[in-house]
Amino acid sequence: MSGTSASLQPPADAAKPVRHPDAPAPGELLGAHYGQCFGCGGEQPHGLHLAARAGEGVSITAEFTVRPEHQGAPGLAHGGILATALDETLGSLNWLLRTIAVTGRLETDFVRPVPVGTTLHLEAEVTAVAGRKIYSTATGRVGGPDGPVAVRADALFIEVKVEHFVNHGREEEIQAAMSDPDQLRRARAFEVNP
């Protein structure tokens, strides 16, 4: 079962997603959107260090290797960690649309257990856009990019302005992010070129 809730079904007048002309080329690594991000940040020691690459159209591939600190049951990945990997991969898609968006809804199927040491091969694509609502879907496979599906998810992301982070984030991290030239450039780019 996947994508069962009505709010994950795009409305009849939803549009096909449009890849932004300045989106990274297929095969290009996206890099982290924030160094301290638990999903993708390189400066986050406990994080997933998920590495995402642009695919064709509005699609992404990503890899994440389960480490001992990601366990739930002995020797197995925690389900919340696997949901995080899916969430991060799905969130990366919005970079190809040049849209800032946050997860509104994430529906996850856990199909088979994922042992520590396993590399999860993720792929995700945007399926439809309706106003601020971005509909997307993802799978995570084990044993290789064509291996069996271990997890999958359907999601609804909601477009937000950069003020979402400025208004809601804790002051010290916002200040630090704003004084990081690369982060600021990115935030500015979003504001002038939405």
Ligand X SMILES: CCCCCCCC/C=C\CCCCCCCC(=O)SCCNC(=O)CCNC(=O)[C@H](O)C(C)(C)COP(=O)(O)OP(=O)(O)OC[C@H]1O[C@@H](n2cnc3c(N)ncnc32)[C@H](O)[C@@H]1OP(=O)(O)O
Where along the sequence are the contacts to ligand X (CB under 6 A)? Answer: 7, 33, 39, 87-88, 91, 100, 102-105, 131-133, 156, 158, 160, 162, 165-166, 174, 177-178, 183, 187
Nearer to ligand X, 29 or 73 (CB): 29
CB of 177 to ligand X, least distance (A): 4
Query: Which residues face 115 on adjacent strands?
Result: 76
Beta-carbon neighbour count of residue 151 at 10 Å? 23
Nearer to ligand X, 43 or 115 (CB): 43
SS3 138: strand
Q: Which of 131, 129, 138 is nearest to 91 (CA)?
A: 138
CB of 148 to ligand X, least distance (A): 25
CB of 134 to ligand X, least distance (A): 10
What Rg, from alpha-carbon coordinates, does the chain have? Answer: 16
Residue pair 155/137 in contact (Cβ under 8 Å)? The answer is: yes
Nearer to ligand X, 111 or 187 (CB): 187
Nearer to ligand X, 55 or 91 (CB): 91
Distance CA 51, CA 122 (A): 10
DSSP single-letter state for residue 68: G
CB of 82 to ligand X, least distance (A): 14
